[in-house]
Amino acid sequence: MHTESDEDLVKRIASGDRLAMKVLFSRHQVRVYRFVLRLVRDETLAEDVISDVFMDLWRQADRFEARASVATWLLAIARNKAYSLLRKRRDAGLDDDFAESIEDEADDPEIVLQKQDKGLAIRACLAKLTLEHREVIDLVYYHETSVEEVARIVGIPENTVKTRLFHARKKLGDVLKAAGIDRGWP
Amino acid sequence: MTDNIATDPKRTELEELLPFYANGRISAGDRARIEKALAGDPELVMRLDIVREDMAETTLLNESLGAPSHRALDRLMDRIEAEPREAPLLTRAKGGLMAWLGGWLSAQPPRRLAYASAAALVLIAIQGVALTGLAVRGTGGSFETASAPGTRPSERYVMLSFAADAKASDIAAFFKRYEASVVDGPRANGFFKVRVGDASLTTAQVDAIAARMKAEGAIISFVAPAP
């Protein structure tokens, strides 16, 4: 079965093709939603953000340049909108923990460890990372992006991508160790 | 403990590339350099194991987040309808049934999918008992990876068999943990075809899930990604 490329769909969207818009939305909505949800931690807000992301795509499709993939483009827009939303909420006094180490709803790693599930403990510790560390871990481990793509999405130099990810991994190891799981590093 | 890698700039450079080696997004040159280093550096191998473990858990964490509700697409299309465009639209194609269906399927709310998973668990518990019996009787043979009739290519699967002494309750908990469900089996050789996610999962992610399942030796005796 022939599958139309993302780039071809964007060209059709630029000419006002709503069916192409639905197909592209269906193709990318889940990943963009999960990326945003990990940042804003609110399902309703995450849906608002992805709606805005795809509206931007609808409005700017004719300006898309194929230097980056459509997926990278969408994640970059999504990140900007998510951070913008978080800043507004912080300025409005709704969020005072923006970009800080935020407690998640998940069980504490220590409690999870008592339940004897290492995987759950790691996931609980992932939720304990700062926004900055969470996003780079998600982008590389889940969204499977390259150094160049992370640099484009986050807006940082490529060397910073590698060092930031290194520190995120190290921090994850520290949190795990504090929870009683020593993997030999750090 | 002294971090020997941190004191060696060459090893540090390679270590920082391990996540990209693990996710397959690395140049052929860097891949070759890392593989050469891994062959003689047990400490680097240990770091790669940690990366792969964290990658599997990050995947599972993200997969547990579900999908946006059906409202998201409706609201987007409403906004587009209300959006004035400067140039006349060249194409006014209405959404076909398949496009709508594709969008609808991928937009099901997590709660609805959870109900389906709960129903599947009951079936799985029964199948677990039956499969344990098959395994105890020593049914062997190789398995085929051909797609089972009626399965949809828009999903991702693994083929697995359970340990002979796995308890039905552990098997049920296993499926719940991975949000997986049986789509075919048990086959004559005792294998099940199990759905582990939708088409958004890449091959590397399915591999990571299978690797994590494989680590559960008390429950699983064999697991491998399946088409």
Which residue type occupies A164? R
Confidence of residue A97 (pLDDT cuts 50, 70, 90): low
- Max Cα separation, chain A? 57
SS3 label, residue A100:
coil
What burial class does residue B137 get, using C-beta atoms within 10 Å of its C-beta: 0-12 exposed, 13-18 middle, 19+ buried?
exposed
What burial class does residue A44 get, using C-beta atoms within 10 Å of its C-beta: 0-12 exposed, 13-18 middle, 19+ buried?
exposed
CATH of A99-186, one of 3.40.190.10, 1.10.600.10, 1.10.10.10, 2.60.120.260: 1.10.10.10
Give me the pLDDT at residue B215, please.
86
Q: Do residue A26 and residue B103 have CB atoms under 8 angstroms apart?
A: yes
Note whether B80 and A58 are within 8 A (CB).
yes
pTM for this prediction: 0.66
Check if B46 contacts A (Cβ < 8 Å): yes
* Residue pointed to by tokens 């940042």: A39
Give me the pLDDT at residue B164, please.
76
Q: Do residue A119 and residue B24 have CB atoms under 8 angstroms apart?
A: no
Q: Do residue B68 and residue A33 have CB atoms under 8 angstroms apart?
A: yes
The structure tokens listed for A184 are: 């030999």
Give me the pLDDT at residue B217, please.
86
* Residue pointed to by tokens 């909505």: A29
Give me the pLDDT at residue B214, please.
86
Which residue type occupies B171? I
The alpha carbon of residue A74 is apart from the nearest alpha carbon of chain B, in Å, by: 15
Indicate the class that CATH gives domain A1-96.
Answer: mainly alpha
Note whether B132 and B166 are within 8 A (CB).
yes
Give me the pLDDT at residue B166, please.
82
Fold of B5-63: Arc Repressor Mutant, subunit A (1.10.10)
Q: What are phi and psi of B162, to 5 degrees?
A: -95, 155
Crossing angle (nearest 10°) for helices A158-178 and A147-154: 90
- How do the domains of chain A map onto residue ranges? 1-96, 99-186
The alpha carbon of residue B188 is apart from the nearest alpha carbon of chain A, in Å, by: 32
- Distance (Å) of CA A99 to CA A50, A135, B35, B124: 20, 11, 36, 42
Give me the pLDDT at residue B127, please.
56
CB contacts under 8 A, B 85-144 vs A, are 85, 87-96, 99-100, 102-103, 106-107
Note whether B58 and B214 are within 8 A (CB).
no
What burial class does residue A41 get, using C-beta atoms within 10 Å of its C-beta: 0-12 exposed, 13-18 middle, 19+ buried?
middle
Rounded to whole angstroms, the Cα distance separating B16 from B8 reads 12
The complex scores an ipTM of 0.92
Buried b (16+ CB within 10 A) or exposed e, B66-86: bbbbbebbebbbeebeeeeee
Q: Could you check whether the bond before residue B84 is cis, i.e. omega within 30 degrees of 0? A: no
Give me the pLDDT at residue B128, please.
54
Q: What are B81's strand-pairing partners? A: none
Q: What are phi and psi of A155, to 5 degrees?
A: 80, 40
SS3 label, residue A130:
strand
Sheet containing B181-184: which strands, arranged edge to edge? B181-184, B192-198, B155-162, B220-226
Residue A77 has pLDDT above 90, yes or no: yes
Q: Which residue has the higher pLDDT, A97 or A7?
A: A7
Rounded to whole angstroms, the Cα distance separating A71 from A142 reads 13
Q: pLDDT (tens digit, 9 = 90+) per residue, A160-171?
A: 999 999 999 999
Give me the pLDDT at residue B172, please.
84
CB contacts under 8 A, A 8-37 vs B, are 12, 15-19, 21-23, 25-26, 29-31, 33-34, 37
Count Cβ atoms below 10 Å from residue B47 Cβ, excluding itself.
22
Average pLDDT, chain A: 89
Count Cβ atoms below 10 Å from residue B126 Cβ, excluding itself.
12
The alpha carbon of residue B197 is apart from the nearest alpha carbon of chain A, in Å, by: 12
- Name the percent of chain A lying above pLDDT 70: 88
Check if B146 contacts A (Cβ < 8 Å): no
Residue ranges of chain B that CATH labels 1.10.10: 5-63
Give me the pLDDT at residue A165, please.
98
Residue A126 has pLDDT above 90, yes or no: yes
Check if B78 contacts A (Cβ < 8 Å): no
Check if B51 contacts A (Cβ < 8 Å): yes
The structure tokens listed for B140 are: 């062997």
User: Would you give per-residue pLDDT tens digits along chain B (227 residues)?
Assistant: 568 899 999 999 999 999 999 999 999 999 999 999 999 999 999 999 999 999 999 999 999 999 999 889 999 999 999 987 654 343 333 344 444 444 444 454 454 444 444 444 545 554 554 454 444 443 333 333 333 333 445 788 888 878 878 888 888 888 888 888 888 777 655 668 889 988 888 888 888 898 889 888 888 877 877 77
Give me the pLDDT at residue B205, please.
86
Check if B72 contacts A (Cβ < 8 Å): yes
Check if B217 contacts A (Cβ < 8 Å): no
Q: Do residue A30 and residue B95 have CB atoms under 8 angstroms apart?
A: no
